Amino acid sequence: MDESELQQRIDALLAEHPPASTDRLDFLHARFDAGLAWVHFPEGLGGLGLPRSMQPVVDKALARAGAPDNDPQRIGIGLGMAAPTILAFGTEEQKRRYLRPLWCGEEVWCQLFSEPGAGSDLAGLATRAVLDGDTWTVNGQKVWTSSAHIADRAIIVVRTDPDVPKHAGLSYFMLDMHDPGVEVRPLRQITGEAEFNEVFLTDARIPDSDRLGEVGEGWKVANATLSSERVAIGGHAFPREFGMVTSVAKTWRERPELRTPETHERLMRGWVDTEVARITATRLRQKLAAGVPGPEGSAMKLTFAKINQQLSGLEVDLLGDEGLRYGDWTMRRPTFVDFFGQDAGFRYLRAKGNSIEGGTSEVLRNVVAERILGLPTEPRVDKDIPWKELPR
């Protein structure tokens, strides 16, 4: 299918379901069924088997026509992490059950990976799942879970075999967040918000039919999810002078009295780093169009965190006493991070989390070193030891 044929399909969707007179959810259902949700997905699953590079053709044409979108910020975890994993590892029944309501925003997803006792060592997690007939009983705790307070479903990694080395004893499931064994509590952050949550699992039940991959393949499936997450964070199409540098450059232009040679040098360094990241993200998307996400997504996420922290610090320094102001310490429960609807103090504080979420910068440097630069891997003394024998 070329671009003109794709445009014909878009025109047919708009003719049969005029955005002005069609219910929002009905339009999204029709768009999914027409293969115009994510064109690189297979036919019948919201796509047409086309290159990713053709998705902007659809998005721009529908935006011009006033068509509703699927509120991508609200369902970002489902779109960027759950959906690629379900597509790669799910059964046909799972794909048809979950992908349509996920893309249309009828079911919000969250990610239950991190744990208080595991930190950056995801493979050391302790949440335990035991099979009882055709249902798994899950007990444990997860932490730093975005959107858990509004989520309907979760992707979760648990330990199903403590008698084997830690990477081998994991399995991957899809959890109903409305199960009576699931409790969600807010985590108040340095910004005053509670964007993240901790989740307690007490005899939560997961049907074996909601397992992704084979039992014991959780590490493999989780790595695919994490690659998709890092691409979602750092692999977007960006305009020139995007992100954190936008607000700093705006302040620089509007407040000449704040300028100094030192802040000028820092701004230029940040602007150049941002432009390099933008061009690199373009190359990453080109690679994605030809295959699957690789370790380059880790490099982009690492760069994203560094630039955000440097530029948010510059903005506070540039504003002087004004940069110390913080407008609102009210306990909010946002569903996504809004860097630019807040003041400079919020941006500075929130950017501190960028080097932790989505994989810590320390871990990502190891990924870049080992998988991109080909450097020797770090020695692992726990490689062949059963998980239950490891000190915790």
| Tens-place pLDDT, residues 190-220 | 888 898 999 999 999 999 999 999 999 999 9
Q: Which of 171, 165, 120, 117 is nearest to 388 (CA)?
A: 165
Q: How confident is the model at residue 372 (pLDDT cuts 50, 70, 90)?
A: confident
CB 95 within 8 A of CB 86: yes
Tens-place pLDDT, residues 133-182: 999 999 999 999 999 999 999 999 999 999 999 999 999 999 999 999 99
The helix/strand/coil state of 295 is coil
Q: Please, what's the b/e burial string for 197-225 (b: 16 or more CB within 10 A of its CB; e: otherwise)?
A: bbbebeebbbeeebbbbebbbbbebbebb
CA 30 – CA 78 distance, rounded (Å): 19
| Other Cβ atoms closer than 10 A to 321 | 6
Residues labelled catalytic: 229
Asked whether the predicted pLDDT for residue 335 surpasses 80, the reply is: no
Mean pLDDT over the full length of the chain: 90
Mean pLDDT of 302-326: 90
CA 123 – CA 166 distance, rounded (Å): 6
**Domain 109-216: which topology?**
Butyryl-CoA Dehydrogenase, subunit A; domain 2 (2.40.110)
CB-based contacts of 168: which residues, under 8 Å, 6+ apart? 161, 216, 219
DSSP 122-148: GGG---EEEEETTEEEEEEEE-S-TTT
CA 170 – CA 314 distance, rounded (Å): 43
CA 352 – CA 344 distance, rounded (Å): 13
CA 69 – CA 28 distance, rounded (Å): 8
CB 49 within 8 A of CB 16: no
Tens-place pLDDT, residues 237-254: 677 888 899 989 998 999
Q: Output the six-digit token pair for 349.
A: 């504080």
Q: Output the six-digit token pair for 3.
A: 């671009």
Tell me what percent of the residues of the chain surpass a pLDDT of 90. 64
Q: What is the CA radius of gyration of the chain?
A: 22
Beta-bridged to residue 193, according to DSSP, are none
DSSP 8-state code for residue 372: I
Asked whether the predicted pLDDT for residue 271 surpasses 70, the reply is: yes
Residue 61 has, within 13 A of its CA and on its CB side, a CA count of: 20
Q: How confident is the model at residue 234 (pLDDT cuts 50, 70, 90)?
A: very low
The predicted pLDDT at position 236 comes to: 58
CB 369 within 8 A of CB 296: no
CA 105 – CA 79 distance, rounded (Å): 9
Q: Output the six-digit token pair for 181.
A: 């064994």
Q: Output the six-digit token pair for 214.
A: 């084979």
Tell me what percent of the residues of the chain surpass a pLDDT of 70. 94
Backbone angles phi, psi at 366, to 5 degrees: -65, -40
CATH of 222-372, one of 1.20.140.10, 2.60.120.20, 3.40.50.1010, 3.40.50.10490: 1.20.140.10
Backbone angles phi, psi at 207, to 5 degrees: -60, 145
Q: How confident is the model at residue 111 (pLDDT cuts 50, 70, 90)?
A: very high
CA 244 – CA 341 distance, rounded (Å): 12
CA 28 – CA 17 distance, rounded (Å): 10
Residues of the chain with CATH 2.40.110.10: 109-216
Region of poorest pLDDT, from 8-17, 49-58, 325-334:
325-334
Kindly give the pairing relationship between strand 196-207 and strand 135-142: antiparallel
Residues of the chain with CATH 1.20.140.10: 222-372
CA 379 – CA 136 distance, rounded (Å): 34
Reported pTM: 0.87
CB 139 within 8 A of CB 202: yes
CA end-to-end distance (rounded Å), the chain: 55
